[in-house]
Structure 1
Amino acid sequence: MEAGGSKRKFRSAAWAHFERKLIGGKWKAICNDCKKALGGETKNGTRHLLDHMKTCLHKKQKNIKKSLLQPTKVTDEAMVLGTYHFNQDHARKELAIMITLHEYPLSIVDHVGFRRYSCALQPLFKVVSGTQLRMIS
């Protein structure tokens, strides 16, 4: 990202989480998660942007949604809860493998029952269409 009229690039990690826009004649840094507008003038620095990234509630909610507890069997009598991170790409690949392995029609992903079942198992999984699935497999 470049400053208005300047050839100097923004180097702070904060700029990966903000978009710089000219609003009312002043540069603003718009948070990609909560859309809050913060000072984006070059004289302001980026400390306030980095601080916002640590406390942004929308970003925390996204991280919490992706983190679920997964029970892991330690012994026959004991189980431990650990953190599970959902991976959309891995789930789609496994879906393609299942369809290929069992010779299901690609249109199975377009069936209402399959979509409801998938949502019940993992609400974060976005079921692709049969056409999109053809490109994955």
Structure 2
Amino acid sequence: MTKCNYYKSVLGANPRNVTTNLKNHVLHYCKRIKLANSRQSTIAKHTRSDADAFVFDPSYTRRCIAKAICIHEYPLSFVKHVGIKEVYASIQPIFKVPSRNTIKKEIFEIYELEKLNMTKLMDENDSRVAVKTDMWTFNQEKGYLIVKAHYIDSS
């Protein structure tokens, strides 16, 4: 048997329906329930109006694909894989799958933006910067170069 702490009403005696009855009471009837802790948050229920307000942006999707290719070191041909094309079509049928050249262009745009952000960050920095490089090969197939910069910022 479950009782509401605010209204002291019995929500159900059948043990099989306790969760359903409690959920329905909290969501639909009990307006006095407050969050016990102000740091907690609730997940808003998605309504039909939320879905209607969504606008698909193919340029944002292309940028996300380019970032994924960079992060996971996928080949540029990743966009032409049959399985990935099916994923794109299932999410947004009107999305035109980008070519390798389009993704390559997108990657260079991301690089230029990140380069600009890094330059701005370094210009605003008052301390010195120590730069470290390291090179190695993995299974004698891929060569890697890493550049690390160490600095102390104002915070």
Q: Given the two structures, how large is their TM-score scaled by the length of structure 2?
A: 0.37
- Which structure shows the bigger proportion of residues in strand conformation? 1
Q: Given the two structures, how large is their TM-score scaled by the length of structure 1?
A: 0.42
Could you say which structure has the larger radius of gyration? 2
